[in-house]
Every structure is written in C-alpha cells, then in structure tokens.
Amino acid sequence: MKTGLVLLRLTGAALGLQLLLGGFLTFGFISAGAHIVMGFILFILAIATMAAWLVSKPALRPMQVLAVVIVVLLLLQIILGFATLNNGSQAIAFVHFVNALAIFGATISGTFITMRFDRVSSEATTHDVGTIREE
C-alpha cells in the first residue's frame, strides 16, 4: 500500500512534467526526443504503480481497476503519439491531447480514492483503540 502510494505520486509528478513537455513540443520550443523519453519513463512508472496496487493487501479494488486503466490509456497514448509523428495528422494529435486529459483525470481520481481510503482506515484504527481501552 505504501509503495503504491509513493509510486502513484511519482507517476503524477512525471505526468505533470510530460504534459508540460507536450505543450513545449506543440509550440516548437523542443524537439520530440525529451517528450518521447519522458513518455516511456511515465509508462514504466505506471506499470510499477499498477503492479504495486495489484499485489497490495488489503486489496483496494477501485485503485486496482484505475491503475490498469491508466496503463491502458498510456499505451494508447504512445501509439497515438507515434502515429502523430509519422503522418503529422492534426486529428490524431487532437485525440492524443484528449487522451492526455483522460490520463490526467484518472491520475487525479487515484489521488482522491487513496485519500478517502486513508481516512476510512485511520477512522477504523481510532475506533479500535477506543475498543481496546474499554476492555
């Protein structure tokens, strides 16, 4: 669970940077290299995050589903990115942009899911301590 949380935050940070690099690339401030390298780093981080949530106990089902969705969306994003590079299609570039927003939204909802889970589990701990004192 702790590893999953740390990896989720690292993935979020890498995603923020990747969105920035995407903007720089669109406006011609950088060449595609840095954006491509960061894309693969992000993909590896997302796979590690997914693995951590899939094996974490107790299982947090919504987070497991979300982590898989993020990896699938990133795979699609990489395919769309290379398609844009190969044929210069503005339509595919637009889908690449919309998918980036979906990945961003999914990562943000992961943060909220884990925050809610943290609160519920700390409330449960507080309740348990009370029970122990009463005995």
Contact range with ligand HEM by CB under 6 A, out of 6-14, 64-72, 91-99, 125-133 = 91-99
Query: Per CB under 6 A, does 35 bind ligand HEM?
Result: yes
- The CA distance from 89 to 87, in Å, is 5
- The least CB distance from residue 24 to ligand HEM, in Å, is 9
- The CA distance from 106 to 12, in Å, is 10
- Exactly one of 74, 106, 110, 114 binds ligand HEM (CB under 6 A); that residue is 74
Contact range with ligand HEM by CB under 6 A, out of 20-28, 53-61, 113-121, 123-131 = 20-28
- 49 HSE (CA, 13 A, CB side): 31
- 133 HSE (CA, 13 A, CB side): 6
- The CA distance from 51 to 115, in Å, is 19
- Exactly one of 41, 93, 109, 113 binds ligand HEM (CB under 6 A); that residue is 93
Query: Per CB under 6 A, does 14 bind ligand HEM?
Result: no
- Exactly one of 5, 45, 66, 103 binds ligand HEM (CB under 6 A); that residue is 103
- The CA distance from 107 to 15, in Å, is 9
Q: At what angle do helices 2-26 and 32-55 cross, to 10 degrees?
A: 160
- The footprint of ligand HEM (CB under 6 A) covers 15, 18-19, 22-23, 25-26, 32, 35-36, 39-40, 42, 74, 77-78, 81-82, 84-85, 93, 96-97, 100, 103
